[in-house]
Structure 1
Amino acid sequence: MPPPSKVAIATGSVLRLVKEEASYHKEIAQQEERIRKLDASEGDENKAYTLKQEKQALAETRNVLPSMQTRIGAALEKLEEALAANKEGGAEASAEDITKAKDAVAKGKEALGQVS
């Protein structure tokens, strides 16, 4: 089995980062829901402490998003460079890899809010 092409490796990287960012967004939604439920609850003697901890966790998760955007952008740039190099004559990637790469570029741009 031949080693994966640079295009395939870069494609996997972009898709992994996009998936990771989506999981952070999902986690933020879950944390916000926990905070809303905790705010609405009564009778918990540790409510103030728990609420503070949940808000801190939410802030930490939100702080990860800018670095994720940067990492996705860098991976997307590498993938586009690999596609360009492949097109110029390094034809090491299969047609299937190219198709997957183009889909990954679209998903990466969508994650960055750069849908063109």
Structure 2
Amino acid sequence: MPPPSQLSIATLAVTRLLREEISYEKELINDKSKVVALENEIKEGKPDEDGNRDHMLKQLKQAVAETEKIFPHVRTRINEATAKLEEQIALAETNGATEEELDLARSALKKGLEAKAPGVA
């Protein structure tokens, strides 16, 4: 089996980074909802059976802050990978890549460019 082409590698990079960003978004949403729930428990004065609710809240807030810091880096990597994919598509079109490979690459490129659009998380 021949090694993957540069086009395939660039396509997979964009796809992987987009999945990574979605994963971080889900993690952020989940952690933020846990923070709200714990804050409500504290506000309502619910009993703290194991005595570590305040510590858990602190840890969750730290996790939220760290996850939020990741997004600019992931976004930069997506933008770079998308630009590289555009180059690889142009090269592959002139070098005769298969239509299937080009279709996959164009689809990944479209998703990468859509993610670049303002207002899209």
> After TM superposition, is the score higher than 0.5?
yes
Count of paired positions: 113
Letter paired with 2:98: S
| Alpha-carbon separation, structure 2, partners of 1:94 and 1:56 | 47
Structure 2: which 5+ residue stretches go unaligned?
Answer: none
CA deviation digits over 1:53-109, x for unaligned, max 9? 10010000010000000000010011000011122x322x21101000110011111
CA RMSD of aligned residues (A): 1.5
Residue 94 in structure 1 maps to residue 110 in structure 2: no
Residue 59 of structure 1 aligns to a residue whose secondary structure is helix
Deviation (angstroms), 1:110: 1.9
Give the structure 1 partner of residue 11 of structure 2. Answer: 11
Give the structure 1 partner of residue 31 of structure 2. Answer: 31
TM-score of the pair, normalised by structure 2: 0.86
Identity, % of aligned positions? 42
Structure 1: which 5+ residue stretches go unaligned?
Answer: none
TM-score of the pair, normalised by structure 1: 0.90
Deviation (angstroms), 1:2: 2.2
| Alpha-carbon separation, structure 1, partners of 2:5 and 2:26 | 32
| Alpha-carbon separation, structure 2, partners of 1:112 and 1:59 | 22
Deviates further, 18-27 or 43-52:
43-52
Deviation (angstroms), 1:52: 1.1
Deviates further, 57-66 or 102-111:
102-111
Deviation (angstroms), 1:113: 2.2
